[in-house]
Chain A
Protein backbone atom coordinates (compact mmCIF):
# COMPACT_ATOMS: atom_id res chain seq x y z
CA UNK A 1 0.00 0.00 0.00
CA UNK A 2 2.82 2.34 0.92
CA UNK A 3 4.51 1.64 -2.38
CA UNK A 4 1.38 2.57 -4.30
CA UNK A 5 1.00 5.75 -2.28
CA UNK A 6 4.57 6.69 -3.05
CA UNK A 7 4.05 6.11 -6.72
CA UNK A 8 0.89 8.18 -6.76
CA UNK A 9 2.52 11.12 -5.01
CA UNK A 10 3.80 12.62 -8.25
CA UNK A 11 0.25 13.73 -9.00
CA UNK A 12 0.45 16.19 -6.11
CA UNK A 13 3.78 17.62 -7.29
CA UNK A 14 4.04 20.04 -10.23
CA UNK A 15 3.90 18.01 -13.45
CA UNK A 16 7.00 17.96 -15.66
CA UNK A 17 6.78 19.16 -19.25
CA UNK A 18 7.06 15.64 -20.68
CA UNK A 19 3.84 14.70 -18.90
CA UNK A 20 1.96 17.96 -19.46
CA UNK A 21 2.80 18.50 -23.14
CA UNK A 22 1.64 15.05 -24.30
CA UNK A 23 -1.54 15.40 -22.20
CA UNK A 24 -2.33 18.72 -23.93
CA UNK A 25 -1.88 16.94 -27.28
CA UNK A 26 -4.30 14.31 -25.96
CA UNK A 27 -6.89 17.01 -25.16
CA UNK A 28 -6.63 18.31 -28.73
CA UNK A 29 -6.93 14.77 -30.08
CA UNK A 30 -10.00 14.03 -27.93
CA UNK A 31 -11.72 17.18 -29.21
CA UNK A 32 -10.94 16.27 -32.85
CA UNK A 33 -12.16 12.71 -32.39
CA UNK A 34 -15.52 13.95 -31.11
CA UNK A 35 -15.78 16.25 -34.13
CA UNK A 36 -14.81 19.53 -32.43
CA UNK A 37 -11.71 21.67 -32.42
CA UNK A 38 -9.34 22.92 -29.78
CA UNK A 39 -9.52 26.70 -29.30
CA UNK A 40 -10.16 28.74 -26.19
CA UNK A 41 -10.29 32.36 -27.34
CA UNK A 42 -13.31 31.91 -29.61
CA UNK A 43 -15.29 31.59 -26.36
CA UNK A 44 -14.60 35.27 -25.70
CA UNK A 45 -16.41 36.10 -28.95
CA UNK A 46 -19.31 33.85 -27.96
CA UNK A 47 -19.52 35.66 -24.62
CA UNK A 48 -19.74 39.00 -26.47
CA UNK A 49 -22.62 37.60 -28.51
CA UNK A 50 -24.42 36.35 -25.39
CA UNK A 51 -24.04 39.84 -23.91
CA UNK A 52 -25.90 41.20 -26.93
CA UNK A 53 -22.98 42.46 -29.04
CA UNK A 54 -24.66 41.06 -32.17
CA UNK A 55 -27.23 43.84 -32.05
CA UNK A 56 -24.63 46.49 -32.89
CA UNK A 57 -21.74 44.62 -34.54
CA UNK A 58 -22.13 42.07 -37.35
CA UNK A 59 -19.03 40.13 -36.25
CA UNK A 60 -21.01 38.98 -33.22
CA UNK A 61 -24.19 38.16 -35.13
CA UNK A 62 -24.25 34.35 -35.06
CA UNK A 63 -26.16 31.64 -33.28
CA UNK A 64 -24.11 31.25 -30.12
CA UNK A 65 -25.80 27.95 -29.31
CA UNK A 66 -23.58 26.34 -31.98
CA UNK A 67 -20.70 27.21 -29.65
CA UNK A 68 -22.41 25.99 -26.49
CA UNK A 69 -20.16 22.91 -26.40
CA UNK A 70 -17.05 25.08 -26.11
CA UNK A 71 -18.56 27.09 -23.25
CA UNK A 72 -19.11 23.79 -21.44
CA UNK A 73 -15.42 22.99 -22.00
CA UNK A 74 -14.64 26.37 -20.40
CA UNK A 75 -16.88 25.53 -17.45
CA UNK A 76 -14.88 22.31 -17.11
CA UNK A 77 -11.60 24.24 -17.25
CA UNK A 78 -12.80 26.42 -14.36
CA UNK A 79 -13.75 23.33 -12.34
CA UNK A 80 -10.42 21.73 -13.26
CA UNK A 81 -8.54 24.75 -11.91
CA UNK A 82 -10.51 24.50 -8.67
CA UNK A 83 -9.84 20.77 -8.29
CA UNK A 84 -6.13 21.08 -9.13
CA UNK A 85 -5.48 23.92 -6.69
CA UNK A 86 -7.54 22.52 -3.81
CA UNK A 87 -7.23 18.75 -4.07
CA UNK A 88 -4.27 17.88 -6.28
CA UNK A 89 -1.46 20.10 -5.02
CA UNK A 90 0.86 19.68 -2.03
CA UNK A 91 2.49 22.93 -2.98
CA UNK A 92 1.62 25.65 -5.42
CA UNK A 93 5.10 27.22 -5.25
CA UNK A 94 6.66 27.41 -8.70
CA UNK A 95 10.30 26.32 -8.78
CA UNK A 96 11.79 29.03 -10.99
CA UNK A 97 15.27 29.62 -12.32
CA UNK A 98 17.14 31.37 -9.42
CA UNK A 99 18.16 34.14 -11.83
CA UNK A 100 14.49 34.87 -12.51
CA UNK A 101 13.78 34.94 -8.76
CA UNK A 102 16.52 37.51 -8.12
CA UNK A 103 15.48 39.53 -11.15
CA UNK A 104 11.80 39.69 -10.16
CA UNK A 105 12.60 40.42 -6.51
CA UNK A 106 14.69 43.38 -7.67
CA UNK A 107 11.60 44.56 -9.59
CA UNK A 108 9.59 44.54 -6.36
CA UNK A 109 7.81 41.16 -6.64
CA UNK A 110 7.76 39.65 -3.15
CA UNK A 111 6.48 36.07 -3.35
CA UNK A 112 8.66 34.85 -6.22
CA UNK A 113 9.39 31.15 -5.83
CA UNK A 114 6.78 30.79 -3.07
CA UNK A 115 3.57 31.21 -4.95
CA UNK A 116 1.75 30.39 -8.17
CA UNK A 117 0.92 33.99 -9.09
CA UNK A 118 2.62 37.26 -8.08
CA UNK A 119 0.88 38.87 -5.09
CA UNK A 120 1.62 42.27 -6.62
CA UNK A 121 -0.94 41.57 -9.38
CA UNK A 122 -3.10 38.69 -8.16
CA UNK A 123 -3.70 39.18 -4.44
CA UNK A 124 -6.95 40.94 -3.57
CA UNK A 125 -4.96 44.09 -2.68
CA UNK A 126 -4.79 44.79 -6.41
CA UNK A 127 -8.44 45.89 -6.39
CA UNK A 128 -7.35 49.13 -4.70
CA UNK A 129 -4.05 49.53 -6.56
CA UNK A 130 -4.48 51.69 -9.69
CA UNK A 131 -1.20 50.55 -11.27
CA UNK A 132 -1.96 46.86 -10.74
CA UNK A 133 -5.50 47.30 -12.04
CA UNK A 134 -4.21 49.10 -15.12
CA UNK A 135 -1.80 46.24 -15.85
CA UNK A 136 -4.55 43.60 -15.56
CA UNK A 137 -6.99 45.62 -17.68
CA UNK A 138 -4.51 46.49 -20.43
CA UNK A 139 -3.07 42.95 -20.43
CA UNK A 140 -6.50 41.34 -20.71
CA UNK A 141 -7.62 43.81 -23.33
CA UNK A 142 -4.58 43.10 -25.55
CA UNK A 143 -5.07 39.35 -25.18
CA UNK A 144 -8.72 39.56 -26.24
CA UNK A 145 -8.15 42.00 -29.10
CA UNK A 146 -5.01 40.25 -30.37
CA UNK A 147 -6.43 36.74 -30.17
CA UNK A 148 -9.44 37.63 -32.30
CA UNK A 149 -7.40 39.72 -34.74
CA UNK A 150 -4.99 36.80 -35.18
CA UNK A 151 -7.92 34.36 -35.30
CA UNK A 152 -6.70 32.27 -32.37
CA UNK A 153 -4.54 32.07 -29.28
CA UNK A 154 -2.07 29.64 -27.79
CA UNK A 155 -4.48 26.70 -28.12
CA UNK A 156 -5.87 27.53 -31.58
CA UNK A 157 -2.62 28.58 -33.25
CA UNK A 158 0.37 27.35 -31.21
CA UNK A 159 -1.08 23.88 -30.54
CA UNK A 160 -3.86 23.15 -33.08
CA UNK A 161 -2.53 25.22 -35.98
CA UNK A 162 1.10 24.16 -35.70
CA UNK A 163 -0.01 20.54 -35.30
CA UNK A 164 -1.76 20.91 -38.67
CA UNK A 165 1.42 22.52 -40.11
CA UNK A 166 -0.44 25.74 -40.88
CA UNK A 167 1.83 28.58 -42.02
CA UNK A 168 -0.63 31.23 -40.74
CA UNK A 169 -0.33 29.73 -37.27
CA UNK A 170 3.46 29.86 -37.45
CA UNK A 171 3.24 33.56 -38.36
CA UNK A 172 0.87 34.11 -35.43
CA UNK A 173 3.18 32.26 -33.01
CA UNK A 174 6.14 34.34 -34.21
CA UNK A 175 3.94 37.36 -33.50
CA UNK A 176 3.14 36.04 -29.98
CA UNK A 177 6.87 35.89 -29.26
CA UNK A 178 7.71 39.24 -30.83
CA UNK A 179 5.00 40.78 -28.64
CA UNK A 180 5.95 38.85 -25.50
CA UNK A 181 9.67 39.56 -25.82
CA UNK A 182 8.97 43.25 -26.48
CA UNK A 183 6.82 43.43 -23.36
CA UNK A 184 9.29 41.65 -21.05
CA UNK A 185 12.53 43.15 -22.34
CA UNK A 186 11.55 46.64 -23.49
CA UNK A 187 8.36 47.64 -21.68
CA UNK A 188 8.77 45.91 -18.29
CA UNK A 189 11.87 48.01 -17.42
CA UNK A 190 9.64 51.08 -17.82
CA UNK A 191 6.81 49.85 -15.59
CA UNK A 192 8.58 47.79 -12.89
Chain B
Protein backbone atom coordinates (compact mmCIF):
# COMPACT_ATOMS: atom_id res chain seq x y z
CA UNK B 1 0.00 0.00 0.00
CA UNK B 2 2.73 2.47 0.97
CA UNK B 3 4.59 1.61 -2.21
CA UNK B 4 1.54 2.59 -4.24
CA UNK B 5 1.31 5.92 -2.40
CA UNK B 6 5.00 6.71 -3.13
CA UNK B 7 4.56 5.72 -6.75
CA UNK B 8 1.39 7.81 -7.13
CA UNK B 9 3.03 10.90 -5.59
CA UNK B 10 6.00 10.42 -7.92
CA UNK B 11 3.78 10.11 -11.01
CA UNK B 12 1.85 13.22 -9.96
CA UNK B 13 5.10 15.15 -9.41
CA UNK B 14 6.54 13.98 -12.74
CA UNK B 15 3.46 15.12 -14.62
CA UNK B 16 3.54 18.52 -12.88
CA UNK B 17 7.23 19.03 -13.69
CA UNK B 18 6.69 18.19 -17.35
CA UNK B 19 3.45 20.13 -17.85
CA UNK B 20 4.75 23.20 -16.00
CA UNK B 21 7.74 23.19 -18.38
CA UNK B 22 10.04 23.39 -15.34
CA UNK B 23 11.80 20.40 -16.93
CA UNK B 24 12.49 22.33 -20.14
CA UNK B 25 16.08 23.41 -20.75
CA UNK B 26 14.70 26.51 -22.51
CA UNK B 27 12.73 27.61 -19.44
CA UNK B 28 15.82 27.42 -17.23
CA UNK B 29 17.78 29.51 -19.73
CA UNK B 30 14.93 32.02 -19.89
CA UNK B 31 14.80 32.18 -16.09
CA UNK B 32 18.50 33.03 -15.80
CA UNK B 33 17.97 35.72 -18.47
CA UNK B 34 15.17 37.18 -16.29
CA UNK B 35 13.11 37.09 -19.50
CA UNK B 36 9.95 35.52 -18.08
CA UNK B 37 8.07 35.42 -14.80
CA UNK B 38 7.07 31.78 -15.37
CA UNK B 39 9.75 29.96 -13.32
CA UNK B 40 9.73 32.61 -10.59
CA UNK B 41 5.96 32.26 -10.39
CA UNK B 42 6.26 28.47 -9.99
CA UNK B 43 8.96 28.58 -7.31
CA UNK B 44 7.43 31.63 -5.59
CA UNK B 45 3.91 30.24 -5.34
CA UNK B 46 5.21 26.82 -4.27
CA UNK B 47 7.29 28.40 -1.48
CA UNK B 48 4.51 30.80 -0.47
CA UNK B 49 2.02 27.96 0.01
CA UNK B 50 4.78 25.72 1.37
CA UNK B 51 5.51 28.20 4.18
CA UNK B 52 1.84 28.19 5.16
CA UNK B 53 1.66 24.38 5.04
CA UNK B 54 4.81 23.89 7.16
CA UNK B 55 3.72 26.55 9.66
CA UNK B 56 0.31 24.89 10.05
CA UNK B 57 1.90 21.46 10.51
CA UNK B 58 4.22 22.86 13.20
CA UNK B 59 1.67 25.10 14.93
CA UNK B 60 -0.98 22.39 15.21
CA UNK B 61 1.55 19.58 15.74
CA UNK B 62 -0.10 17.64 12.93
CA UNK B 63 0.71 13.94 12.93
CA UNK B 64 1.36 11.91 9.81
CA UNK B 65 -1.47 9.75 8.50
CA UNK B 66 0.19 6.85 10.30
CA UNK B 67 -0.08 8.73 13.60
CA UNK B 68 3.64 9.45 13.92
CA UNK B 69 5.03 12.86 14.78
CA UNK B 70 6.03 14.85 11.69
CA UNK B 71 9.67 15.72 12.16
CA UNK B 72 11.03 18.56 10.03
CA UNK B 73 14.71 18.62 10.92
CA UNK B 74 16.45 22.02 10.66
CA UNK B 75 19.43 22.17 8.27
CA UNK B 76 22.80 22.16 9.99
CA UNK B 77 24.37 25.58 10.38
CA UNK B 78 27.11 26.53 7.97
CA UNK B 79 27.85 29.09 5.31
CA UNK B 80 30.61 27.73 3.09
CA UNK B 81 29.05 24.39 2.16
CA UNK B 82 25.79 26.03 1.12
CA UNK B 83 27.32 28.84 -0.91
CA UNK B 84 30.07 26.75 -2.57
CA UNK B 85 27.83 23.74 -3.12
CA UNK B 86 25.04 26.02 -4.31
CA UNK B 87 27.26 27.79 -6.86
CA UNK B 88 28.58 24.49 -8.23
CA UNK B 89 25.02 23.18 -8.47
CA UNK B 90 23.84 26.38 -10.20
CA UNK B 91 26.60 26.18 -12.81
CA UNK B 92 25.49 22.67 -13.70
CA UNK B 93 21.76 23.47 -13.52
CA UNK B 94 22.17 26.22 -16.11
CA UNK B 95 24.49 24.18 -18.33
CA UNK B 96 22.55 20.91 -18.42
CA UNK B 97 19.25 22.78 -18.00
CA UNK B 98 18.00 20.15 -15.59
CA UNK B 99 18.08 19.56 -11.86
CA UNK B 100 17.63 16.15 -10.19
CA UNK B 101 13.80 16.01 -10.41
CA UNK B 102 13.43 17.04 -14.07
CA UNK B 103 16.30 14.71 -15.06
CA UNK B 104 14.10 11.72 -14.33
CA UNK B 105 11.04 13.35 -15.91
CA UNK B 106 13.03 13.77 -19.14
CA UNK B 107 14.22 10.18 -18.99
CA UNK B 108 10.58 9.07 -18.89
CA UNK B 109 9.64 11.50 -21.65
CA UNK B 110 12.15 9.74 -23.87
CA UNK B 111 15.03 12.21 -24.19
CA UNK B 112 17.79 9.62 -24.19
CA UNK B 113 20.75 12.04 -23.85
CA UNK B 114 19.51 12.91 -20.35
CA UNK B 115 20.78 9.46 -19.32
CA UNK B 116 24.30 10.85 -19.78
CA UNK B 117 23.42 13.75 -17.47
CA UNK B 118 22.00 11.35 -14.87
CA UNK B 119 25.06 9.08 -15.02
CA UNK B 120 27.36 12.10 -14.73
CA UNK B 121 25.39 13.44 -11.76
CA UNK B 122 25.78 10.09 -9.99
CA UNK B 123 29.50 10.35 -10.77
CA UNK B 124 29.57 13.89 -9.35
CA UNK B 125 27.82 12.69 -6.20
CA UNK B 126 30.39 9.90 -5.83
CA UNK B 127 33.30 12.32 -6.24
CA UNK B 128 31.79 14.59 -3.57
CA UNK B 129 31.66 11.61 -1.21
CA UNK B 130 35.26 10.81 -2.02
CA UNK B 131 36.55 14.32 -1.28
CA UNK B 132 34.01 15.31 1.36
CA UNK B 133 36.55 15.49 4.18
CA UNK B 134 38.90 17.73 2.21
CA UNK B 135 36.24 20.33 1.36
CA UNK B 136 35.29 23.32 3.54
CA UNK B 137 31.92 22.69 5.18
Residues on A with beta carbons closer than 8 Å to the beta carbon of B2: 34, 69
Of the candidates B19, B32, B86, the one whose C-beta lies within 8 Å of that of A174 is B86
- Total number of A residues with any Cβ neighbor in B under 8 Å: 126
> Is A64's CB within 8 Å of the partner chain B?
no
Q: Which residue of B has the minimal Cβ distance to A143?
A: B92
CB neighbours (8 Å) of B82 from chain A are: 150-151, 157, 168-169, 171-172, 175
The answer to whether B11 touches A79, judged by C-beta atoms less than 8 angstroms apart, is yes
Asked if residues A173 and B91 are in contact (CB atoms below 8 Å), the reply is: no
Contact A142 B92 (CB under 8 A): yes
Query: Are B99 and A143 interface neighbours, CB within 8 A?
Result: yes
Q: Is the interface of A mostly helix, strand, loop or mixed?
A: helix
- Chain A residues with CB under 8 Å of B14's CB are 76-81, 83-84
Q: How many A-B residue pairs have CB under 8 A?
A: 494
Contact partner of B32 (CB less than 8 A), chosen from A48, A79, A152, A181, is: A181
Query: B33: which A residues are within 8 A, CB to CB?
Result: 97, 99-100, 103, 184
- The answer to whether B54 touches A47, judged by C-beta atoms less than 8 angstroms apart, is no
Q: Which residues of A contact B109 (CB under 8 A)?
A: 81-82, 84-86, 116
Contact check, B126 vs A179: say whether CB atoms are below 8 A apart.
no
- Identify which of A30, A96, A112, A142 contacts B89 (C-beta below 8 A): A142
Given A33-B65, A97-B35, A139-B95: A76 and B13 interface contact (C-beta under 8 Å): yes
The chain B residue sitting closest to A19, CB to CB, is B20
Instruction: List A contacts of B57 (CB < 8 A).
Output: 32-33
Q: Which residues of chain A come closer than 8 Å to B66, judged between CB atoms?
A: 34-35
Q: Check if B68 sits within 8 Å of A97, measured CB to CB.
A: no
Which residues of B are found within 8 Å of A142, using beta-carbon distances? 88-89, 91-93, 95-96, 124
**A183 to B93, alpha carbons, bound, how many Å?**
9
A86-106 interface code vs B (CB 8 A; 1 in, 0 out) = 101100001011011001100
Q: Which residue of chain B has its CB nearest to the CB of A177?
A: B90
Residues of chain A with a CB closer than 8 A to B47's CB: 25, 158-159, 162-163
B124 pairs with A171, CB closer than 8 A: no
Contact B105 A25 (CB under 8 A): no
In the assembled complex, how far is the CB of residue A78 from the closest CB belonging to chain B, in whole angstroms? 4
Q: What are 25 A-B contacts with C-beta separation under 8 Å?
A: A14-B20, A15-B16, A17-B20, A17-B42, A18-B45, A40-B100, A77-B11, A80-B10, A83-B108, A84-B15, A84-B19, A100-B36, A118-B97, A140-B103, A140-B116, A141-B127, A142-B91, A143-B89, A148-B85, A150-B85, A151-B75, A159-B43, A162-B47, A177-B90, A180-B94
Please report A residues at the B interface, Cβ cutoff 8 Å.
11, 14-37, 40-41, 43-45, 47-48, 51, 53, 56-57, 59-60, 69-70, 72-86, 88-89, 94, 96-97, 99-100, 103-104, 112, 115-118, 121-124, 126-127, 132-133, 135-155, 157-166, 168-169, 171-185, 187
